[in-house]
Each structure stands twice: as C-alpha cells, then as structure tokens.
Structure 1
Amino acid sequence: MRKADGLFKLIGLCLLAGVLVAGMLFPVVGAAGVMSNQASETVEKTSSDLADIPPPLVTTVTDNSGKPIATLYSQYRLPINPDQINEAMKWALVSVEDKRFYEHHGVDWQGTLRAAVSNSTGADTQGASTLTQQYVKNYLINVVYRGDTIGQKKAQEQSIARKLKEARIAIQLETKLSKQQILAGYLNIVEFSRQIYGIGAAAHAYFDTTPEKLTVPQAALLAGLVNNPINNDPWNHPDKATARRNLVLDRMVDNKKLAKADADRFKGEPLGVVPDSPKKPPANCIGAGPEAGFFCQYVEDYLLKAGGMTRDQLYSGGYTIKSTLDERANHEAKVSAEAQVKKTQPYIANTLSLVKPGKDRHEVVALAANRDYGQNQDAGQTTYTLPAGVYNTGGAGSTFKVFTTAAAMDKGIVGIYSPIDIPDTYVSRVYTGGGNSCPQTGPPLRSRWYCVGNAGDYSRLASGATIQTALATSPNTAFVELEDRIGSTGPAIDMAHRLGLRDTMASSAAGRTPDPKAEKAELRDPQSKFYGPQGNSPGLGSFTLGVSPVSGLEMANVAATILSGGVWCPPTPIAGVTDRNGKPVAVKEAPCEQAVPEGLANTLAIGMSKDDQPGGGTSFQAANAAGWTRPLIGKTGTTQANVSAAFVGGTPQIAGAAMTFKFGGGQGGICDAGPGRVSLCPGGRDGNIFGGHAPARTWFGAVSRILEGQPEAPLPQPDPRYMGGPGR
C-alpha cells in the first residue's frame, strides 16, 4: 500500500510541478524538463549509493594488548541504533525541522510546491525539505561526496531538478525504511560542527553523555544546531546558540510535545556544554601522546605505503588496528633515549628502534626518541617519525662495515676468523672520493684515489687481528682494504639492501625522495646508484664508513635479519586489522625472504659478538655500566667530525638500533659529556661523540630493563664454511 501511495504522490508532484511551471513560468519549462529527466536517470544510482556507501567512522589504533592508543578520523562519528535515541531528542528534532514527519511519506507536498514557486520566481529561496529529504541531502554531502566540492555543491543547489530528484529518492526510502530507521539514519549522518557528525558523537562531545541520556534542553540545543552548526556554535556564539535552543523549545510547545511551563523553565538554564571546546579525541596520531605517537605515525605510514590502504580508507573506514607496540618496551626506550639527550636539546635527536627477530615476522615493538611526538616545537616536539624514517642524514658510521663483511663472506673472500691487516693509513687505488686528503709525500697521487685513516691507535692489533676483532674494534683502514678485495661497492650495497636497508637505499644521498630532474647526483640518484659502481668507477669507498642518510628502524631490522638466520621480513607494526563489522582485513605486506644463507647469518652473528667485551670492544663501557651479561651481536658507528653516532645490536629475543644525530640545523659536531649532557659543540667545532657513548648507553639502558626476568638466549652456532682461519 505504501509503495503505491508513494507512486501516486510522485506522479502528483510531477504533474503539479509541470502545470505550475507551464502555466506560470513558461520561459523555464524547457530547462526544468531536461533537468527533471536527468534527475530521473540518476535516482536509482543515488539510491544505491545511499545503501552501498557506508558513513565514515573512527578508526582505532591499539597496542599489542588491545588497549586503544589513538583514533584516526575525518568525521568524528559514534553510530547509534534507533532504540538509542530518547524521546526528547526525537521530538526536539521533529518539532523544529519537520513537524509532520510521522504523517507524510517522504515529501511535504504543500511545502515543496510553495518552495518551487518561490525559488522559480526569483524570490528568496525556500527549503521545505522533510527530514527524509534532509537525510538524502546530508548523506550525499557528508558521505557520498565527502571531499568532492563539486558533488557537494550539486547536492545542495537550489533548483527544481535537484528538489525533484531528492523527493523521488525520499519517497523510495520511505517504502524501504521505517520512520525510526530514517530518523536514526539522519541523526547518524548530520553535522554538528568541528568534525562532529551524528548524535552519538555530539552527545559525547557537547555534554559528555550518550543519546539515551540527553535532557530536554540538551536535545533542544543539538536539534537547533543542524540548521546552521557554525553560526550556532555554543562556544563561539553562545547567545545565538541560546536563542536557537529556546526557539526549538517553543516549537516543541507548539507541537504539543512540551508544556509551556517546562519550556520557560528550561530557557532559564545555562547551555551546559563541556567547558572550553567539544570533548572529542584528537583526529590523528597526536592522540597517541608524546611516547606512542612515533609508533602510531609509523602504523599510518606503513598502511598507506606497504599495506595498500588510502588515507580516506584509513581515516573513514572504522577499522580497529591492533599494532605490535609493546608499551612497556616503548616506555623503557623513551626513558633511556631521554636520559642521554634532553628532549629540549636543540638540534639533536636520540632515537631507539626495537624489532623482534623471527623467521615468519619481524614485529616492531618500540619506536622512541628523546623528542616528544607533538606539534609544540618550543617544547622539543616533532611529528617527524625520527626513529623510523630516513632522518639520520649524518649516517650510521662504522655500522655499515657489517655489510662489507657480509659481502666478503658471501663471496668466500674471508671468514670471521680470517686475518686482516690494520695499517695506520690506507690509500685505495680503486675507489674515489669521500675520504681524507691523500698524503703529499713521494710521487703525486691521483685525485681519484681514496685515502683513509683510523680514529685511534690500533698498533697493538697490528698482528693477529681477525675479522671478528676488527668488527669489535672498528678500524677504518681494514674495511676499506676489504672493499678493495671485493672489487667494488656493488656487493656491499646489495648486501645492505638484502639485510634490510630497503627504503634507505631507495632514498637519495640527501635523505630525500630522488628527484630525476635534479642536476646534482646526490639529489637525483638513489643511494644504491650514487655510492655504487658507475662506468669505470667501482663506486665510492666511503660507503663502508656509513656516511649516507639512514633509517634507524631499518638498521634495527638488519640486526633482526642476522638474528633470524638471514631471513628478512618487513618491519611490521601490524598485529591485525578488523573492519567496522569486526571481520578480519588482509594487510598487503611484503613476504619474508631468505636474504642470505642461514650459515652466513649465524656466523656473522658470532663475528659481531665481541663488541661488548673487554679488551677493545667499542661498547664495553656502556654494556658494563648497564650490568650487561647476555650474549649479543653489536656494532658501533661514528661519522666524520662526530656529527652522528650509532649502535646496532641484538639478542635472539630483541634487536635494535640507537642513533644520536643532528636534526633541524645547527653547526659543528656533537659533544658528549655523559648522560644528559649531550649537545652541539661550542663554536661549531668537531665533536667527540662515538657509537659507544650515547647510542650504546641508550641501547643497553633500555634493552637490559626490557629483558629483565627473561632467560639468556644463546647466539646461533657458526657454519664452518664462513669461519675462515689463518690461511684465508
């Protein structure tokens, strides 16, 4: 009966509108007819859009225990069911917006024709839309055409064609949905200003309550807002908001849904909104706070880049994203990073990234920095993902010697116990650029030769040193000479990529996305090309000294790959994702791969196992101060002029990288006078920081606390094929 009734009403509207236009407004009949036909053709599609395109909802990010840490949204909306709307809210809205809502079948014919006459004659535009029609219009504006200004404009233009199309859709909805469903649908979609959409979010944001518990004056205020939420904002325009609320109360009296005496009493009450501004969570990772914000940002970046999501999907899909964040580990990492470098220390970042090794997943458990995550730069805050992105433009120093070592092992050139020379200085006749000036003694040397010295006295190791010894004591000359034996930087660069430096090697030598149009090679080419062999050049020999921009998280994942038997997996922050209905959502992640032979990785781990030991291990003092006794792999690194330093290490339970580097400007190197006294050196002079200082102290300070109570785990057994010996 209702379908037939709706059809007759539609025919009546078309006939009446046609007669009205033909008889009184003949000049516009052609245009009106064309637009009406166009509207008819799109009614079915629009009706389908209303059914098939769900409204934007809030996405929730949690830690690994399921505890929410942040919300992501473009529209703050908390959906409700029809039975969650109390009578006060229903009648306040109906009284002010559509008092015949329960009588019509989607269109108020008298009001629609009156508006058509007024609008067509050039008089003031009139709406006369029912709540059902407003539901259609708001759904198009806030859902179907969100972010599409042209579509939004068309959805609210003042024209007969738009009114006719809207009326037909409204009639269809009334044949499919009950009045309560339409009312709830409208109240779930409509805007209440300041990114607040729907009565569920509005009740919480305005009054810190739920729709079921709204009082009559509260309901009247919210019902009055939908007409013009910006103009009637109770915080910016309390007088207008009060006047509008009181008008709604009067309409409720006129509609016989409220006694006049009660209305008069309610008019004397204050607005009662929460103080200062709406109560709603931040719309992005700022809500994760100063500690977890970096991790939340990495979750977002990961899903947008590797996970195959769009930003609109992420911020409107209503997902629940369970992350791999271990809040305790992250807190310990934050405390340790900040203990070494104060959060307000100008121009210096200190980061710690931690990853759990494994042969099927590499889960990120902590991303911390001395800086707080946030937007207040004066308080030392930043929203750059310092622990994860390629932000250490100074480089990771000698930690890159691991790649040269692994490449030489892979080619059978050396094993971890192979002897290695450690001259005071070394002049490479293979590589170009990136080192100290060549000595001007004897015959002139060609400018393309690469000359390097050591940062310290290694005379005591002049004989009997092995690759394992060199990894622990880190002489520069030994590893540049090893590059010469390999023949080019290509294998070491390839090894860096295989073990984990994927984004790093794809970035430019300036730490940015390569610009193919740039004139300078350091801006134009990815690092893999800039430092690699080109033409007759075997590459830049400085690569093994870690002079290039690098990601702390990717260096942590390098350690995780070595400790996972050579299996690389993407450093994932995602434990699982469910949609708005609680159904699992597949996340597109790169598959794990056997980056290097397991025997090589296990033997390399043993080769890196002496860094914390007395007798020359570069991180011994930091390890000893932390009371460290566990087996580990480790490697320190320091760059030219001490502008940055790093420590990369791990156990079978956890791997990580700590980096101290310049960020945001400043002149000179970094001076390290002990925990909490790390700063730029005065006068712009060279620094004195090393990887065994602040970075190692950060790593051991955090990881020793994180592993408290866990059993010591042994390192893997080496493979004789990669061990080497005196003869090799």
Structure 2
Amino acid sequence: MGNKRSGGGLSPAQQAAKFLGVSVLAGAVLAGLALPAVGAIGLAAKGTVEQFDEIPANLKRPPLSERTTILDAKGGEIAKVYSRDRTIVDLKDISPYMRKAIVAIEDARFYEHGAIDPKGVLRALNNNAQDGGTSQGASTLTQQYVKNVFVEEAGDNEKAVAEAQKKSIGRKIKELKYAIQVEKELGKQRILQNYLNITFFGQQAYGVEAASQRYFSKHAKDLKLEEAALLAGLVQSPSSYDPVTNAEVAKARRNTVLQRMADVKDITQAQADAAKKKPLGLKVSSPKNGCITAVSGAGFFCDYVREVFLNDPVFGKTREARSQRWNRGGLTIRTTLDPKAQQSVQNSIKSHVYKDDPVATAVTLVEPGTGKVVAMGQSRPYGFGPNDLTINLSADHAMGGSNYGFQVGSTFKPITAAAALEQGKKPYQRYSSPYEMDYPSPVSTCNGTWSNSEGASLTNEDPKEKGPYGLPEALAKSINTYFVQMISDIGVCPVTEMAAKMGVHRADGKKLNQVPAITLGTDGFSPLTMANAYATFANRGVYCTPVFIESITGPGGKDLEVPKSSCTRAMSEKTADTMNTLLRGVVEDGTGQKAGLENRPSAGKTGTTDERKAAWFVGYTPNLAGAVWVGGSGSKGVKMENIRIGGVLHDKVYGADTPGPIWKDAMSGALEGKPTENFVTVPIKDPNEKPRDNDKDHGDKPGRDKPGRDNGGNNGGDNPWPDITLPPDVIGGGDGGNRGGNGNGGNGNSNGWNFP
C-alpha cells in the first residue's frame, strides 16, 4: 500500500523526476546529470538531455511592466495607466519583515540551496506519497521567479500566459535550466528583490509596493510584521486568500505565515503570538487605472495621448511593438494640457449643457504657432454609465472619435474665402447672392468638372437675405448663395487644397468631396481639426500640426523621442490678416456677437447644419483658438428645434446661441491673466463703391480705424463695410469711441478697431 502511494515501485530518482513533471519511460533513468543541486535526483525521460541542451543559454528578462503617469503641462497628475499595477523598488525599500515572511513561507531554505532544493523535493515527495496526491510543491523562489518571468513576457496574451504556466516537461526543464543560470548571475539578494517586484498579490497589484499601497495605503518599506505576513500569504493563491473578500481565510493564512516565521527563527514565538491577535488592519486603496480616473474631465485628452502613442511610428515600427511598449509602462508623460484651460472648458460645458441632455457638446482649445492642444472636453463623461461615452467627440475616428465626425456648416466658409483671396479675389469681392438659386454648373474640380445634373438648389437662412453682397457682409451674415457663387467662380480644387494646407481632413479618413456644396460644410470633421485650422488664421497663415505630448521619460530616467509639431505656410500673411479682419467683423457685428470676448480682440465663425443636427462656433484670439460643437452624438443625430439644452428651451438652435456662449466662457477662463494681443488687420474698402449719405461730412480727415461704438457722434469716419448701412451712432465722430485706433473724425477722435 505504501509502495503504491509512493509511486508503484519507482526508484527515488524516478519519483523525483515524476514530481518535477518529467514523464518517465521504463528503465530510462539519467543518473548523475551534471547539474548543480540535481545530483542524485537526476532527470528521467527520453531526450531530456537533448531538450535541456537545446534551450538558449540566456534567460530573456523583459523590463517589468509598470504604471505610466500622465502629467499636465504644469506637472500635475492627470491619470495613471497600466496593464499591470506595479512600482519597482529596491530591496532596501522593502520592509525586513516582508523579506523574511516571503522566504519563510515560500522557500525557507532559500539561502542554503541552489537552483532547486533536493531536500525540499524529497520532503514534498514523502508528504505527497502520504497524502496520495500532489498537494505540496517543491519549486524554489528562484524557480518561481523564472516562471513569473515567462508569464511577464507573455503579457496580456492569454494563450501565451497559459503556455507559460502549463505543467509540462518542456516548461519544467526550461524553468530549471534558467533557474540555474539566474542563481549564478544574480545572487540571492537580487533574486529576492526581483521576485518581490514581479509576483502577483491580487487586487490588480503586481509587486510588493503596489500590494502594500493597495491593501494598507503605505509604502512597502513601512510594512509591519503582521502586514508583511498577510501579503506573503497571498502569493500562493491571491484569490483564495484575498483579505478584501475573504477576511477570515486571509487571517488564518496570515497566522500560518507568522507561525512559520517563528518556526524558522525569524521571529520569536512571543512576537508571532502577539501578531496573530491583531486585526487585519486593512486600509484599502481602490485601484485607479486608466483615463476613466483622469482629473478635471481630462479623460478624453488622456485617451488621445494613448492613441498618439499607439499610432505614431516614433514609438515603435509596428502597432504591436508600440502596444507592448505602452503596456510595459514605466513612463512619465508630460503633456500639453493646460490645467487652467481644461478647468475653464469643463466649467463652461457644465453650465451650458447637461450630461443627460438629448444632445452633447465637445470643446477643444489649441495654441496657435505651436500646435499644442491645451484643453479637450465634452459633456458626456468618459466612462460606461448610461450618459457616459468612450467615444471622443473631439477626435477623428482613427483616434477614438465618431465614425464620420460632424458636418461643420458655415464654419467652412472662411476656408473658401481664404482660397479665393489666394486666387487673387479682392476682400470686397461682390456676388449677386440671391435668396434662392440653383447650384451653378459646370464647376471645375481637381478631377475635372462637376455638373448640377439633378438641378439641386439652395437658399439663404432668411428670405430677406438678398444680394448683391460683398465679402465682409457675406461672412458677417453667413450668406449661403454668396459662397456657392464664390466656389463656383474659383473652382472646388483651390478650396480643397487650401483645406488640406490648413490640416482640414474628414474625420472618417476619406477624401474631401469635390462638389460646390462643400463650402456649406457638408463633409464631417472633428472639433480638433476645426480648432487647429482656425489657429492657422491666428498664426498669420502658418499651419502647425497638433501635438499632445511635451516629453516622455522612460524607465531609468531616459528621455524618449516624442513627435514634434510641424509648421508650414498655408496662405500669405496678407490673406491671413485679411481673414482676421473679416472674421473679427463676424464676432463684432455679425452672427457671432454672442461669442465676443470682453476687452480682448477675437474672431470666428458660426455654423449650423441642415435640420439643425449640428451647431458650431469656431473662433480665436491671436494666442488661442477653439472649436465648440453641439449636436447628437449618435449616427442619426438630433434635430435641434423645440429642445431644452442646459435647462434652456430653444425654439431653434443656432451656432450663435449655444456654441457661441460655450466658446466665450471657455476662452475667457483659459485666457484669464494672459496678455492681450492684437490682430494685424488690413484695409477692406471697395474703391469703386460710391459714398453713401452717411459717409458725407466726415470732418477734415476721415478716421482710419473702424469708428468707436461706445460714445460715437453723428459724423466722421468712413464706414468700412459700404454694403452694410450702419446706424449713425456706430459711425465714429463726436466724442468717438474708446476701442482702438486714433483716426480723426467729425468733432472728435474716432477710436476703432484698426479697421480702415
């Protein structure tokens, strides 16, 4: 009976070999294998020696996966992300109690044996024989460490992890050979340090530092005796002994460790008995992993940083390589996020759009001249709740955004205007601009011509909007027929080429449509794309690619290469300055008046799409650009009529009445304390335009700036927009206004906006 239990007549060497997982073939005993600490035990199986010799000599020890910390531009923490929550620490930063506890319970003879422990094997064999099973193992700490290296190398590949943990001849042989190598190369102290940093303690905690923080909210160096014993007891079965879910079992296991420490003389029996009486003393810290935990609503910004890392070849030749590097972690990523700007965006969103509204909003702010994205937020929080989203409404589809982006409406018109100016059109260019018209046909495109074969037509927003109009008033009033006539005049290709130079690309990655209707914003774009495009105007015609990352420090303090913004000229300074002059007029006297900033020059354009399924305001100052979108986040959209948004009932939503105020509040807070900068503006006056009645009697010298509005008199200062009949109190003169230049008009100064 005893012989049966101990292996049915097998020799001690065969029993040892069987225990080690080596299949035994009758009579095949490889006695005296020249391996340290193997000696009389040997390995038995046909081909075992060959298998052993074929294993590569060096164990590949990949860098341990760690947390990655994402910081804002000021150094504040945005979030921690990790595949495995681990913080690597030196042995000196681990409590002596912890070092003794893990050795006592896992491998008490650790400092006495080599790669394997013959006595431990024989003891396990004897105990298992008595039990009639395999309840007791014989792996040393070194062997366990090697197995953990295999698991670490497998990463999150479940199939590879299963292979690394499989009880097979091949794995056991490989584990043994590498254990011998590790013992020789590292020594006991380094092996213990590595083991304590690599092993899993449950509750998503890898390594003793993460475990100490998770269960006791303290550093591993500060662990008390009873705390160290608890953690050491978890290693054998983290789920079974989990103190959070199974406190009584965990306490019994802890006390087993304490008794073992007393048995091997690491502590006295009195110390063990006293520690056994103490409660578990847990102070659990919930794991905070990923962008879902980001501060100040920066979850989507955080997620975009991850997408940048996974998509940019600077971080690895293939996406798989980049993904492995990201999951390995150990990075400190300093981003371009301005905490003040981000908080301003979140405050503005919260006050204007509720997360459970039928529509959502997304806001992105970009710094002209650098491409730095300083804020990104949306009304639907990052998460998995009923009103949450993991789709970044500010981003392209390839970077975690919606499938198609959002039609941008009239915010595309300035791109058409810029293209026309580059083609030689004058800033006072006039078109008949009727209320209703058919699309002109044929129209030249990059691929040939477009014809209105279906007789498509369009109208302006208001039947009263009838031309002719010049460009200043057409932009200010957002006249649809004007811009269709303009794109039909210059051709579609110059417009789409200008868009490309300004970084404007469809959110779904497809090419821009070569049709005149593109000037009305019929293609889908992301708020990030639109904000960065308008930053080109603010930067006097130079486009800079957007960037999210300032620097990355890798493990060991090594600085990594990061993608830089690339800046190219998209249009002449004159064209950009003209557009700034025109778009400033939109904010001051056109559809964007509700977005105008106080005591700071700003410019921008409203946009509303068909059926009001999207509304936009995209605007900028010389030192900050931003885009605001409001609409339905689903593929079908939401018709924004008779709708309540942020507690306010809207008969019809326009770009001016909802996105405009969001933009104003977000920009105001983001720019608070920053210097006020002025646009460079240019004269816009049709030399062929005859003076109107209110242009007469201008005084001895017409004002060279747009007349002031605050205290204006009745005479003086030319009307800069001859197509717009301005009321007398807007025309400079008398006491003048108090906003800008110093042209003389009427009886006083006409202080205006540097607007001839």
Partner of 1:60: 69
Deviation at 1:724, TM superposition (A): 8.0
- How do 1:89-488 and structure 2 match up within 5 A? 89-112=98-121, 124=134, 127-141=137-151, 143-274=152-283, 278-289=284-295, 291-306=297-312, 308-309=314-315, 310-345=322-357, 347-358=358-369, 361-377=370-386, 380-389=387-396, 391=402, 393-412=405-424, 414-430=425-441, 448-459=454-465, 462-463=467-468, 465-487=469-491
Partner of 1:494: 497
Say whether the 8 Å CA contact 1:559–1:649 is kept in structure 2: yes
TM-score normalised according to structure 1 size: 0.82
Partner of 2:750: none
More helix by percentage? 1
Deviation at 1:126, TM superposition (A): 5.2
Query: RMSD of the TM alignment (CA)?
Result: 3.3
Partner of 2:661: 697
Distance in 1 between residues matched to 2:453 and 2:506, nearest whole Å: 32
SS at match of 1:337: helix
SS at match of 1:163: helix
Using the TM superposition, name which of 188-197 and 262-271 deviates more. Answer: 262-271
1:108-150 CA distances to partner (integer Å, 9 max, x unpaired)? 1233467689999x95375311111111111211x21222344
TM-score normalised according to structure 2 size: 0.79
Distance in 2 between residues matched to 1:637 and 1:559, nearest whole Å: 14
Say whether the 8 Å CA contact 2:70–2:77 is kept in structure 1: yes
1:275-308 CA distances to partner (integer Å, 9 max, x unpaired)? xxx4144221012135121211121122222364
Q: 1:31 to 1:547 in 2, by over 3 A?
A: farther
Distance in 1 between residues matched to 2:406 and 2:209, nearest whole Å: 50
Distance in 1 between residues matched to 2:562 and 2:678, nearest whole Å: 33
Partner of 1:517: none
Distance in 2 between residues matched to 1:642 and 1:427, nearest whole Å: 22
Runs (5+) with no aligned partner, structure 2: 1-12, 31-42, 316-321, 444-450, 690-756
Deviation at 1:499, TM superposition (A): 0.8
Distance in 1 between residues matched to 2:125 and 2:160, nearest whole Å: 22
Letter in 1 for 2:53: S
Say whether the 8 Å CA contact 1:32–1:161 is kept in structure 2: no
Partner of 2:680: 716
Q: 1:621 to 1:157 in 2, by over 3 A?
A: closer
Partner of 2:53: 40
Deviation at 1:650, TM superposition (A): 0.5
Say whether the 8 Å CA contact 1:431–1:448 is kept in structure 2: no
Q: 1:24 to 1:475 in 2, by over 3 A?
A: closer
Partner of 1:637: 607
Q: 1:148 to 1:44 in 2, by over 3 A?
A: farther
Distance in 2 between residues matched to 1:252 and 1:114, nearest whole Å: 19
Say whether the 8 Å CA contact 2:543–2:567 is kept in structure 1: yes
Using the TM superposition, name which of 495-504 and 473-482 deviates more. Answer: 495-504
Deviation at 1:674, TM superposition (A): 8.9
Runs (5+) with no aligned partner, structure 1: 1-12, 433-444, 508-525, 533-538, 682-686
1:501-534 CA distances to partner (integer Å, 9 max, x unpaired)? 2353x53xxxxxxxxxxxxxxxxxx242xx22xx
Deviation at 1:665, TM superposition (A): 7.0
Distance in 1 between residues matched to 2:159 and 2:47, nearest whole Å: 20
The one of 588, 591, 594 equivalent to 1:613 is 588
Distance in 2 between residues matched to 1:266 and 1:707, nearest whole Å: 58
Say whether the 8 Å CA contact 1:632–1:649 is kept in structure 2: yes
Q: What is the number of residues matched between the two proteins?
A: 645
Deviation at 1:23, TM superposition (A): 9.6
Distance in 2 between residues matched to 1:545 and 1:24, nearest whole Å: 81
Deviation at 1:316, TM superposition (A): 1.9
1:38-64 CA distances to partner (integer Å, 9 max, x unpaired)? 33322424x2x12xx110011100010
Deviation at 1:158, TM superposition (A): 2.7
Deviation at 1:228, TM superposition (A): 0.8
Higher RCO (Cα < 8 Å, 6 or more apart)? 1
Q: 1:725 to 1:406 in 2, by over 3 A?
A: farther
Using the TM superposition, name which of 80-89 and 110-119 deviates more. Answer: 110-119
Q: 1:107 to 1:209 in 2, by over 3 A?
A: same
Deviation at 1:222, TM superposition (A): 0.6
Letter in 1 for 2:311: K
Partner of 2:533: 558
Distance in 1 between residues matched to 2:334 and 2:219, nearest whole Å: 26
Q: 1:387 to 1:57 in 2, by over 3 A?
A: same
Deviation at 1:22, TM superposition (A): 11
Partner of 1:523: none
1:344-391 CA distances to partner (integer Å, 9 max, x unpaired)? 21x311222100000xx21011112223333322xx332221233454
Is 1:600 aligned to 2:611, yes or no?
A: no
Distance in 1 between residues matched to 2:172 and 2:256, nearest whole Å: 27
Q: 1:130 to 1:320 in 2, by over 3 A?
A: same
Distance in 2 between residues matched to 1:411 and 1:17, nearest whole Å: 85
Q: 1:367 to 1:42 in 2, by over 3 A?
A: same
Is 1:88 aligned to 2:97, yes or no?
A: yes
Deviation at 1:395, TM superposition (A): 1.5
Distance in 2 between residues matched to 1:175 and 1:382, nearest whole Å: 52
User: Which is higher, the Rg of structure 1 or of structure 2?
Assistant: 2
Q: 1:115 to 1:164 in 2, by over 3 A?
A: farther
Partner of 1:514: none
Distance in 2 between residues matched to 1:559 and 1:375, nearest whole Å: 33
Deviation at 1:261, TM superposition (A): 3.0
Q: 1:164 to 1:629 in 2, by over 3 A?
A: same
Say whether the 8 Å CA contact 2:632–2:638 is kept in structure 1: no
Identity, in percent, stands at 36
Letter in 2 for 1:26: G
Distance in 2 between residues matched to 1:98 and 1:80, nearest whole Å: 21
Distance in 1 between residues matched to 2:669 and 2:544, nearest whole Å: 26
Letter in 2 for 1:714: N
Deviation at 1:17, TM superposition (A): 5.9
SS at match of 1:231: coil
Say whether the 8 Å CA contact 1:420–1:466 is kept in structure 2: yes
Using the TM superposition, name which of 161-170 and 561-570 deviates more. Answer: 161-170
Q: 1:255 to 1:17 in 2, by over 3 A?
A: same
Distance in 1 between residues matched to 2:128 and 2:46, nearest whole Å: 16
- How do 1:528-539 and structure 2 match up within 5 A? 528=512, 531-532=513-514, 539=515
Deviation at 1:394, TM superposition (A): 4.6
